[in-house]
Structure 1
Amino acid sequence: MRIIPVLDLKGGVVVRAAGGRRDEYRPIVTPLSATPEPVAVATGLRTLHPFSTFYIADLDAIEGRDPNRAALARLRAMKDPPELWVDAGLADEATLEAALAASGICPVLGSESQNDDLLLRRFCRHPNLILSLDFFAEGFHGPQTILEDPTLWPGRVIVMTLAKVGAGGGPDFDRMREVKVRAGDRTIIAAGGVRDAADLHQLKSLGVGAALVATALHDKTLTAERLVSFSG
């Protein structure tokens, strides 16, 4: 079970996510960093565990504003540069191709950003591509064919339950179980609601291969001691 810390970027800083209500996200206040500057937060997270990968949600890009390119560049220039899984609202072929060719980047194709399944059909076999199945409080966001046809799924699939993010209610175990059954040998990554090591062990028992985590790290319900038994 891999633990992948999350950095939600908005306006050049890390914000604390809560329930998918992005207009309410504010710059993060965390004991791990004196500021919400992305490298400072990432460095603080690495005081808990030597994480080799970070998940980046570029909320500005996802919502159609200018991407946080400068923040991403600083993260890529860190000491022991992490691999970055980046959801930047990718929705066109040229931008996705450029992201797939970039060193140290694994682009995340978010279902909420897709108008159809054409990009996924073309690139689903690329080893660097990650699909995010995006679920909001009202249900799945994206073309239904992406959700309903697992043959379109790449080797890694995030099950993103936005209503669970930062809510303290635990992951959506039933949804994880259902997607894992359909996914075959693909790696399923849980996103949203992880509270502690008990949640991680339950996800692992379902065959989930990794979890995206933020709140539990900043609130220290997942401590350095607990993280030793997981990889990052």
Structure 2
Amino acid sequence: MMLKIPVLDLKGGIAVSGKSGQRETYTPLNTCYANSANPVEIAENLKLNGASEIYIADLDLIESKGHNINEIKMVNSILPVIFDGGVKDFDSYTFFLDYAYKIIVATETLESIDELKKIFNKYPKERIVISIDIKDNELYTKNLNLTLNEIKPILKELDPNEIILLDITGVGTNKGVNYELLNEFKEFKDKLIIAGGLNKDSIAELEKEGIKKVLIGTSLHSGEIAIL
């Protein structure tokens, strides 16, 4: 059975929503799981409706404009948090371990592959999730001089338990599965968590492809897709 992991993006202490990674245009989240955009209230109701873990991105931290770390810790006491706080290096990864269950190391913010290897050498794979961030079908990164093809041998070497394949261009669009990306990474199928623009039809389609986990944001909060 497909595991559907709810998504929350936090900015200024509240959950927000938007499209295609255009973060400056994000607005307070309107969700069927709460009467407000309070992340703690939303997490409590997600748990009541069957969620077993939750993905949270701290957009303020990722953009170095503040943080929502206290809200993250409160949510983590309700549901185990898979947390993207814009990890740059070994030290920032280590810091976030006190706040969440699993910490994401994303290509968008990672400073170097050497720092990624340090993290894998020190910490258990159960607490590390690599996020391959993609915009317009190309690797999205601020610091790494790598292509999508060039990151694959690194993934093989590190052998992570989980790899998020995040189609940033698809976020909030409900456009469905990006099969070009999925085919690009099909050798990692058993490790993949698919994210970005998924809709109701995507779940059955991805199950047929053998994908076991997805991140669901817009379609979940609108009520189009249920957790269970």
Shift of 1:23: 0.8
Give the counterpart of 2:209 among 206, 209, 230. 206
Residue of structure 2 equivalent to 1:133: 132
Give the counterpart of 1:156 among 137, 159, 162. 162
Residue of structure 2 equivalent to 1:108: 104
Residue of structure 1 equivalent to 2:63: 63
Asked whether 1:215 is paired with 2:221, we answer no
Shift of 1:205: 1.9
C-alpha deviations, 1:157-200, integer Å up to 9, x for none? 0000011111121121221232122x26x51000111111x311
Residue of structure 2 equivalent to 1:27: 28
Q: Which runs of 4+ in 1 moved over 3 A?
A: none
Cα separation, 2, equivalents of 1:70 and 1:123: 24
Give the counterpart of 2:193 among 186, 189, 193. 189
Using the TM superposition, name which of 186-195 and 198-207 deviates more.
198-207
- Contact map agreement 2:90 2:116 (CA 8 A) in 1: no
Cα separation, 1, equivalents of 2:45 and 2:176: 24
Residue of structure 1 equivalent to 2:113: 117
Where structure 1 has 5 or more consecutive residues not aligned to the other structure, the ranges are none
Shift of 1:74: 1.9
- Contact map agreement 1:108 1:132 (CA 8 A) in 2: yes
Cα separation, 1, equivalents of 2:180 and 2:204: 15
Residue of structure 2 equivalent to 1:83: 80
CA RMSD, Structure 1 to Structure 2 (Å): 2.0
Count of residue pairs the alignment pairs up? 217
Where structure 2 has 5 or more consecutive residues not aligned to the other structure, the ranges are none
Residue of structure 2 equivalent to 1:45: 46
**One-letter amino acid of the structure 2 residue matched with residue 169 of structure 1:** K
- Contact map agreement 1:124 1:153 (CA 8 A) in 2: no
Q: 1:95 to 1:133 in 2, by over 3 A?
A: same
Structure 2 length-normalised TM: 0.87
Shift of 1:121: 1.5
Q: 1:64 to 1:153 in 2, by over 3 A?
A: farther
